[in-house]
Amino acid sequence: MLAIEAERVTKSYKAAVRPALSNITLKVEAGRVVTLLGRNGAGKTTFVRMCATQLMPTSGRISVLGYDVVRQAKEVRKLITIVPQEGRPLRALTPWDHVYNWLQIRGESKASAREKTEQFLRKLELWEAKDKPAMNLSGGMKQKILVAMAMAVDAQLLFLDEPTIGLDPVSRRQVWSAIKDWKTKGRSILLTTHYMDEAEMLSDYIVIVDNGSIIAQGTVYELRKVLPHNTRVDIAKDGLDSDLLKSYGSVVDTGAGVLRVFAYESSVRELSELAIRKNLPFTVSPVTLDDVFVFLVGKEAEE
């Protein structure tokens, strides 16, 4: 079964120079975490909002869990839950109020709502602050309230639109753990994020969007093959001639006093020896999703 199926979907606004989304065709299999990556304004949130029945597509068709998002919006809403990018908790309500009342609104019994509220507040380390008004909590804790509200609901599909924005590293990992647990119950997740490590950690499948169109998609392993080289070597720039490095592969000046060489594994030893001879610090690592993203989106921008 497909969690989401989009066929030739376009979203246009009258005052816009170009469509927010153009001819998007995408299938999201159930039981997977699928991540949308893209720059600000690429169309990620627009797609999420259409799938969640908050926006109408201009043309094309979207079905969520077998229901058409336009003709059967009520049926879709019963099966989904969402952490919207622009969402904010109510200032005067506590974390307990938010989660417990939301579960009651969604039809949970009082006993079930109490149990689930405690479970998710503890999991996201909000329990100690459960009775504090949201106005007195940090930005990161406010964001975790929204995540707790969405995950406590017994839905089949979860939309997470940049759920860890503004969170510290420890809080981000708490949310990651909750996402992984949520998925183990056979549920589906559509995630948007700007954090490449988050996408690599959580995603079964990644879709890269730019200027309203899909420019690449696949698993992390498949996307890494987009780059012509499989290894990167970062060498301190001090006193080093970048032209010398071009014989080993593609060279990028990171702007932080480091030259990044994308090379094949066979060249790594020579590059390492060069850095050692010149007494320059260096690191060797596989290419990352961040490298792939910059390569693809940068190329699109140039075109």
- What mean pLDDT do residues 56-72 have? 96
- Structure confidence at residue 220 as a pLDDT band (50, 70, 90): very high
State what percent of residues in the chain have pLDDT above 70.
98
Region 255-284 average pLDDT: 87
Q: Is the pLDDT of residue 159 over 50?
A: yes
Q: How far is CA 242 from CA 238, 251, 269, 296, in A?
A: 10, 7, 18, 23
Q: How far is 300 from 303, CA to CA, in rounded Å?
A: 5
Domain extents in the chain:
2-224, 231-286
CATH pick for 2-224 out of 3.30.1330.10, 3.30.300.30, 2.40.10.10, 3.40.50.300: 3.40.50.300
Residue predicted with more confidence, 89 or 264? 89
The mean predicted confidence, pLDDT, of the chain is 91
Spell out where the chain has E strands: 2-11, 21-29, 33-37, 59-64, 67-68, 80-83, 157-161, 188-192, 205-210, 213-218, 231-236, 249-253, 258-263, 282-286
Task: Quote the pLDDT of residue 11.
Answer: 95
Residue 269 amino acid letter? R
Residue type, 13: Y
Query: What pLDDT, in 10s, does the model give residues 15-31?
Result: 777 889 999 999 999 99
Predicted local distance difference test score (pLDDT) of residue 299? 54
Supply 269's token pair: 């030893």
Listed residue (145, 217, 157, 153) closest to 190, CA to CA: 157
In single-letter form, the type of residue at position 23 comes to N
Overall average pLDDT of the 221-226 stretch: 90
Rounded CA gap, 200 and 168, in Å? 18
For residues 58 and 7, what is the distance between their CA atoms, to the nearest angstrom?
Answer: 12
Strands of the sheet with 67-68, listed across from one edge: 21-29, 2-11, 59-64, 67-68
Sheet arrangement for strand 258-263: 249-253, 258-263, 231-236, 282-286
Predicted TM-score of the model (pTM): 0.87
Residue-wise pLDDT for 230-256, tens only, equals 898 999 888 777 788 888 888 888 778
Distance CA 249, CA 228 (A): 9
Taking only the tens place, the pLDDT of each residue in 80-135 is 999 988 789 999 999 999 999 999 999 999 999 999 999 999 999 999 999 999 99
Query: In Å, how far are 236, 237, 238, 240, 241 from 257, measured between CA atoms?
Result: 6, 5, 7, 11, 13
Four-point Cα dihedral 110, 115, 120, 126, nearest 10:
90
pLDDT confidence of residue 258? 87
Name the least confident of 67-76, 98-107, 179-188, 214-223.
179-188
